[in-house]
Structure 1
Amino acid sequence: MIQVNVHEIKAKLSGYLAAVARGERVVIARRNVPVAELIPIAPPRTVPRPLGQGPREEGYELPDAFWEPLPDGLAAAFNGLAQTPTTGQAQ
């Protein structure tokens, strides 16, 4: 880890960016008090992230309740039609 004050990093930014690209962490300080950190960006994933068991995988079954209609209030909320209850207001 490298710690550098604002004045120095302003003067030598490309050198510190090269250090970050090599995997170093650079802590930026104002008057020797750390305020920020430069770290390398994580490389992009090359394989999809696993999301858990899905309908195409062996052993996966949808429960019967999946096909039952949603309660009216919940269906309305999903469709943006839900009424917002007013609390504490005179009607």
Structure 2
Amino acid sequence: MTVVNMHEAKTHLSRLVERARQGEDVVIAKAGRPVARLVPLTEADAPRKLGGWKGRVWMADDFDELPPDVLAAFEGDSD
């Protein structure tokens, strides 16, 4: 793990980013205390497809109907 202070990180950011991209653990510190870590960006495996749960989930027609007292509490109309 490489720990660098803020000033050094600003001065050598391109080099530090490259080291992180290659898998090195780069930590940026301020006044000796770690505050950030540079990590490589990972790409998503594949785009998500719509409809993946189609046919697996059932929802009642009245799933969003609440008893009047519960609805009033959500709307801030408590007695």
Q: Is this a same-fold pair by TM over 0.5?
A: yes
Alignment check: 8 A CA contact 1:25 1:40 kept? no
Number of residue pairs matched by the alignment: 72
- Radius of gyration: which is bigger? 1
The answer for the alignment partner of 1:26 in structure 2 is: 26
Structure 1 residues 17 and 69: alpha-carbon distance in aligned structure 2, compared to 1, 3 A threshold = closer
1:5-64 deviation line (CA, Å, top 9, x unaligned): 001111111100101111222110012111111111123213758xx8652xxxx6x76x
Distance 1:46 1:28 in 2: 32
- Any residues of structure 2 matched to 1:10-89 within 5 Å, and which? 10-46=10-46, 48=48, 54-55=54-55, 66=59, 69-70=61-62, 74=65, 84-88=75-79
Identity of aligned residues (%): 28
Higher relative contact order (CA 8 A, sep 6+): 2
Structure 1 segments unaligned to the other structure (5+ residues): 76-81
Question: What is the TM-score of this pair, normalised by structure 2?
Answer: 0.64
2:77 partner amino acid? T
Structure 2 segments unaligned to the other structure (5+ residues): none
**Which 4+ stretches in 1 moved above 2 angstroms?**
46-49, 52-55
Question: What is the TM-score of this pair, normalised by structure 1?
Answer: 0.57
What do you get for the CA RMSD once the two structures are aligned? 3.2
